[in-house]
Amino acid sequence: MAAPGSCALWSYCGRGWSRAMRGCQLLGLRSSWPGDLLSARLLSQEKRAAETHFGFETVSEEEKGGKVYQVFESVAKKYDVMNDMMSLGIHRVWKDLLLWKMHPLPGTQLLDVAGGTGDIAFRFLNYVQSQHQRKQKRQLRAQQNLSWEEIAKEYQNEEDSLGGSRVVVCDINKEMLKVGKQKALAQGYRAGLAWVLGDAEELPFDDDKFDIYTIAFGIRNVTHIDQEAHRVLKPGGRFLCLEFSQVNNPLISRLYDLYSFQVIPVLGEVIAGDWKSYQYLVESIRRFPSQEEFKDMIEDAGFHKVTYESLTSGIVAIHSGFKL
Amino acid sequence: MATLLRPVLRRLCGLPGLQRPAAEMPLRARSDGAGPLYSHHLPTSPLQKGLLAAGSAAMALYNPYRHDMVAVLGETTGHRTLKVLRDQMRRDPEGAQILQERPRISTSTLDLGKLQSLPEGSLGREYLRFLDVNGHCFPYDTRAPTRFVDDEELAYVIQRYREVHDMLHTLLGMPTNILGEIVVKWFEAVQTGLPMCILGAFFGPIRLGAQSLQVLVSELIPWAVQNGRRAPCVLNLYYERRWEQSLRALREELGITAPPMHVQGLA
C-alpha cells in the first residue's frame, strides 16, 4: 500500500479502537493524575480530534503524548529496577533474544527508538564488539608464522573495535535519556553510541539512513510511527519490534492477568512510589493488538516479509519486517 | 475504508480482553461499586491490600525515609479500627462536629498570622513554635492524600489522624527526632489501636542505640501508655476552635502530665 494510504489506515485503526472500546462500555474514569488537569472525555456527538487509547482511558492524540511523557518522567530513575522486579529478570532474556534475532553484521547502523535507558543499544555494542574480537582472533590464527612484532602491530592498529557499527538511541523523554547516559558512563560504553532527543513520529534523521530500526517496549506508547520507520530505513533495512502481545494459552493468560493487575501496581507503589504509572503499563499492554493484527498493520505500512515470533507463551512477541 | 475497518472492529471485539466476564475484567472497570469513592481513591482488591501491607511494612523498615510507605501501611491495615474510631467520634459531641464539618490542618487552611498573634502559652502559639523549632515541615504522610481506604468517611478519619499527629507532638512536648516519634507512636497506639501505630511502636525502636532504648523502655513508654489510657480520644478535639486555649489548661483537661525528661538531646 502506498505510504499516505497506510498512514491513514493506521490512524483509522486508532480511531476504530476507541470506537470499539466505547461500544464495549469501558468506563471513562475521572483520574486525578498528578499535575494533569484532564480527565477522560464523556461521549458526545460532535466531531472531535483523532482519538486513541491511554491504558483504558480514551484520550486525544495530543493528550496521549503528554500523559505518556509524564509517566516516563516519573518512572525513569526506577525503570530498570522495576523491569527486573516485574518480569523477574526475564526481560533481559527477551532483549537478548531480540539481539540474537537481529544478528547484526559488522558495519550495521542501528537506530533504537524509544531506547531510553539503553538496554538494546548496550547489548548491540557488546554483540558487535565480541563479533569483531572473534574476527580478529580468527584472522590472526589464520596467519601462520607471524613474528611478535607483526602481532603487536596488529593489536596496536587501534582500528575501530566495533567494525564500523554505530547505534543511535532516540527517545522523546529527557529523563530516560539521562538515565541511559549515566548507565553508559558507569558501564564504560563510549564509542559508537549517540543519544538523540527526538519524537518517534517525527524523527530528526534523513531518509534512508539506517540498516536496522528497533523499538523495544515502546511502540504501544506512541501513535503513528510506521511512516517514519519506513522513511529512515535504507532499502533492505529491517524493522524489528519487541512488544508485549496476546498470550495464547488460556491458563497462562489468567495467571498473567492476575499477576499484572494485582501485583504489578503494588510493586510500583512499594518500590517506585507510583501506582498509577504501573496501572497504565498493564492497561496499555491489554490494549495492544494481537500478533496477527500487528503483523497486518506492519504489512500495511509498506514492509515486506513480515514475521513474528512469540516468546514466553505470547507474553511478548518480536515482529520483523523489511523495507524492500 | 469502511470495509477495512469492519474486520478490524470484528477482530478487536474478539480480543480476549474484551470478552472476559465481568468478574475477570481488570480492576478499573469492575462494577462491584468500586469506582473511585473520593478524589485520589484507588480501589484495591483484598489481595492487593495484603500485598501492599506486607510490601509497605518491609519497605518502611528497610528505608525509614519512605514515609509514604508508613501511610500506605496505615491505610491498608486500619479499616476495622477506623470504623471503631469513627463510631466513637460520632458518639462524642465535638467529634461528631468534626465528622460533619471535616476541618483540615494544612498550610493552606492554617492562618499562620493569626496564630502568631496569639498569646504565649496558647495552643496556637505553641503549635507554631513547635513547627518553627522542627523546621516548619509537615511530615510527608500528612501531605499525601488517602488512597487505599474504601470508605469516604473513614478516609477522612485517617486523614484527620495524620494531621492531628503534629498536635500530639505539641501536647506531649515531644520533638520530631526518632525517640520523640516513637513515644508519640506509643501514645497513638494506645489511643487509636491502629495496627500501623502498634507496628510502628514495636518496630520503631529497632534502629535505636542502647542508651536511648533504655530510656525509652524504662521511662518514656510507661509515661506515654499511662497518658494514652487516661486521656479521652484526641481525635475528638476540635483543635481549630481551641487555638486560644492555654496549652496547660488543655493538658490538664486531657490528663497529660509533663514528660519524665527532656528528650531533645537524645536519639
Question: Do the Cβ atoms of B263 and B174 come closer than 8 Å?
Answer: yes
Q: Which residues of chain B fall below pLDDT 50?
A: 1-33, 139-141, 266-267
Question: Do the Cβ atoms of A26 and B35 come closer than 8 Å?
Answer: no
Q: Which set of grid coordinates corresponds to residue A152?
A: 603487536
Helix A79-87, helix A90-102: angle, nearest 10:
100
SS3 B38: coil
A271 and chain B in contact, CB less than 8 A: yes
Please answer yes or no on whether B9 and A257 come within 8 Å at the CB atom. no
Question: Of A97, A92, A80, whose CA–CA distance to A318 is shortest?
Answer: A97
**Region of residue A292 (phi > 0: left; psi between -120 and 50: alpha; otherwise: beta):** alpha
Question: Which among A16, A26, A31 is the nearest to B9, CB-wise?
Answer: A16
Q: What are phi and psi of A197, to 5 degrees?
A: -90, 115
Please answer yes or no on whether A286 and B47 come within 8 Å at the CB atom. no
Q: How far apart are CA A65 and CA A75, in angstroms?
A: 16
Please answer yes or no on whether B12 and A17 come within 8 Å at the CB atom. yes
Q: What chain A residue is nearest to B37 in terms of C-alpha separation?
A: A30
pLDDT of residue B25: 37
Please tell me what DSSP assigns to residue B262: -
Q: Which set of grid coordinates corresponds to residue B10?
A: 470484528
SS3 A241: strand
Please tell me what DSSP assigns to residue B135: T
pLDDT of residue B264: 57
Beta strands in chain A (DSSP E): 51-54, 57-60, 109-113, 166-171, 193-197, 210-216, 233-244, 304-311, 316-322
Question: Which among B5, B36, B69 is the nearest to A270, CB-wise?
Answer: B69
Question: Which among B5, B26, B55 is the nearest to A270, CB-wise?
Answer: B55
pLDDT of residue B21: 37
**pLDDT tens for each residue of chain A, 324 residues long:** 344 434 433 333 334 334 433 433 333 333 334 433 333 333 343 344 577 777 777 778 778 778 888 878 777 888 888 899 999 999 999 999 999 999 998 889 999 999 888 999 999 999 998 988 888 888 878 877 777 887 777 777 666 777 788 999 999 999 999 999 999 999 999 888 999 999 999 999 999 999 999 999 988 888 778 888 999 999 999 999 999 999 989 999 999 999 999 999 999 999 988 898 889 889 988 888 999 999 999 999 999 999 999 999 999 999 999 998
Residues 6+ apart with CB under 8 A from B30: B22, B43
pLDDT of residue B263: 62
Question: Which among A24, A257, A283 is the nearest to B13, CB-wise?
Answer: A24
Strands A166-171 and A109-113, bridge-based pairing:
parallel
Please answer yes or no on whether A246 and B27 come within 8 Å at the CB atom. no
Q: How far apart are CA B56 and CA A266, in angstroms?
A: 9
What Cα–Cα distance (Å) separates residue A137 from each residue in A83, A140, A142?
A: 36, 5, 9
pLDDT of residue A49: 56
Q: pTM of the predicted model, to two decimals?
A: 0.73
B39 and chain A in contact, CB less than 8 A: yes
Q: How many CB atoms lie within 10 A of CB B153?
A: 16
ipTM: 0.75
CA distance A36 to chain B (A): 13
Of the residues A53, A258, A259, A261, the best mutation for testing chain B's interface (the one with the most B CB atoms within 10 Å of its CB) is A261
